[in-house]
């Protein structure tokens, strides 16, 4: 189910718990809107071996994105400059349009660390979505 079809839970008031909640929300968005979207695009008639290979490729691609987000890979540089991606997550107040909290995911707990839990549907003690 795409994330726009889900309902966000209330963020925890404790700053550390809220930071983890926001990171889990980022993981949910990637898993729902990238990983699950790709899985839904697989042909229905694939053999078990082909489906297994496709699922592994999807997971490897998602994990590769997470390595870039974490700063493990994904930079290009020369003697003077570096180009790298920066991914931040914002918690925005809908009334004011202002960011209530923001985290650069490279400074977070690690998207790669969350991968296996998110793959199993574990989005933390305070899941970011209603079930």
For residue 6, tell me if it sits in a domain: no
For residue 125, tell me if it sits in a domain: no
Measure Cα distances from 121 to 43, 85, 115, 117 in Å: 23, 27, 10, 6
Of 103, 73, 84, which Cα lies nearest the Cα of 11? 103
CA gap 102, 89 in Å, rounded: 6
3-state secondary structure (DSSP) of residue 44: coil
For residue 131, tell me if it sits in a domain: no
For residue 28, tell me if it sits in a domain: yes
3-state secondary structure (DSSP) of residue 79: coil
| Number of structural domains found in the chain | 1
For the record, the structure tokens of 6 come out as 């889900």
Domain that holds residue 97: 15-71+82-120
For residue 34, tell me if it sits in a domain: yes
Q: Where are the alpha helices (DSSP H) in 31-94?
A: 36-40, 48-70
For residue 101, tell me if it sits in a domain: yes
Q: pLDDT 10s digit of each residue in the chain, 131 long?
A: 788 889 999 999 999 999 999 999 999 999 999 999 999 999 999 999 999 999 999 999 999 999 999 999 999 999 999 999 999 999 999 999 999 999 999 999 999 999 999 999 999 999 999 97
For residue 87, tell me if it sits in a domain: yes
């Amino acid at each position: 189910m795409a994330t726009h079809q889900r309902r966000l839970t209330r963020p925890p008031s404790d700053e550390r718990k809220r930071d983890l909640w926001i990171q889990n929300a980022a993981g949910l968005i990637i898993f729902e809107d990238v990983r699950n979207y790709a899985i839904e695009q697989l042909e229905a008639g694939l053999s078990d071996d082909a489906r297994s290979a496709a699922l592994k490729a999807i997971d490897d691609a998602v994990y590769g994105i997470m390595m870039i987000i974490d700063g493990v890979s994904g930079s290009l540089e020369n003697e003077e400059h570096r180009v790298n991606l920066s991914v931040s997550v914002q918690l925005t107040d809908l009334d004011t349009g202002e960011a209530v909290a923001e985290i650069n995911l490279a400074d977070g707990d690690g998207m790669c660390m969350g991968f296996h839990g998110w793959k199993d549907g574990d989005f933390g003690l305070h899941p970011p979505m209603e079930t």
